[in-house]
Copies of this chain bind each other. A is one copy, B any other.
Amino acid sequence: MFSCSSETEKISDEPTNSREIAGAGTALPSWNEGSTKQAILDFVEDVTNPQSANYIEPKDRIATFDNDGTLWSEQPVYFQFFFAIDRIKAMATDHPEWKDQQPYKAILENDMPALMEQGMAGLLKVVMTTHAGMTTDEFEKIVSDWVATAKHPTKNRPYTDLIYQPMLELVKYLQQNDFKVFIVSGGGIDFMRPWAEDVYGIPKDRIVGSSIKTEYDYNDGQPIIKRLPEIDLIDDKEGKPIGIHRYIGRKPVFAAGNSDGDLQMLRWTAANSAKSFKLFVHHTDEAREWAYDRDSHIGAFDKGWDEAKEKGWTLVDMKEDWKVIYPYELDSVD
């Protein structure tokens, strides 16, 4: 019996011997040699070795990755927030009254302090105005169109250029070794699904995120699902184990995050009776990306850092461990 993942591009057309670690030797080319890379390779070699006491069957090889700050950048604010702001501006032509109404006024005047003054209620209004009130098909098109055209304000590149090349390689390496790789993000599930499948090679049905409620309508024979302005799941912090249970149904054996919002996911992974791997990406590269941790307004990494140190979880130092950050830098690397 030969089995592999339909999402996995195999190294060759030959059936792989399960004792050959797929990709070993050539795996993780954008990772510098060192203890971090070696820890990953050692873990995968161990748990895929049927002779090892730590062997994990393919069906139990669940890997979960945070998105913002773990698979792509998240500064100066979550990219989904830029999406919401761009949408408000695009929708404003149909809403002349917004120029005098908060939180819209602040956005239309590019007045971030005034927007922040609106607090959580104001932000929630922005989210619901831009993410609810349309069908699921319509929202998918809105997101796809935005991703295809929008650019990051300081990097001046499409947001999907700002994904981490070393993490792409890690995702692929795990898939090649018959891990099922899922995204488990605080970001919106329906915001990620339209582009993340192609960009990361992770299928839509393995993308887990925050969600709002929906409603089915037969609509005179043209069935639709309407997006409602009501929270369903906040897939962050305690919500991540909840989302993992809901969507996957088993504990991960590999989890990667970058902030305190991922701590519960890593604890849930550590609670697996099988051997598990817990990884935090530490943003240390001010020159090539951003440098931030304990006190950051986005992606604060404080309790997670302490617990990782205490428990010996793996910390990725972006500056030291990664040869390149983004795929577009590959051309300039020998």
On A, residues with C-beta under 8 Å from B are 1-10, 13, 15, 58-59, 136, 178, 180, 182, 189-190, 193, 197, 203-207, 211, 214-216, 218, 222-223, 225, 238-239, 241-242, 245-250, 264, 267-268, 271
Residue of B nearest to A263 (CB): B218
Cβ-closest 10 pairs across A and B? A204-B249, A216-B238, A5-B6, A2-B13, A216-B241, A193-B249, A205-B248, A223-B271, A223-B267, A13-B15
Q: A205-B206, A206-B205, A267-B218 are in contact. Are A10 and B3 (CB under 8 A)?
A: yes
Q: A193-B249, A241-B216, A245-B214 are in contact. Are A7 and B3 (CB under 8 A)?
A: yes
Residue of B nearest to A273 (CB): B137
Q: A2-B13, A6-B58 are in contact. Are A268 and B197 (CB under 8 A)?
A: no
The reply to whether A241 and B223 form a contact with Cβ atoms under 8 Å apart is yes
What chain B residues lie within 8 Å of A264 (beta carbons)?
216, 218, 223
The reply to whether B197 and A59 form a contact with Cβ atoms under 8 Å apart is yes
What chain B residues lie within 8 Å of A246 (beta carbons)?
189, 211, 214
Q: A2-B10, A197-B59 are in contact. Are A241 and B225 (CB under 8 A)?
A: yes
Residue of B nearest to A239 (CB): B216
What chain B residues lie within 8 Å of A204 (beta carbons)?
59, 248-250
What chain B residues lie within 8 Å of A9 (beta carbons)?
1, 3
A293 to chain B, nearest CB (A): 22
Residue of B nearest to A175 (CB): B6
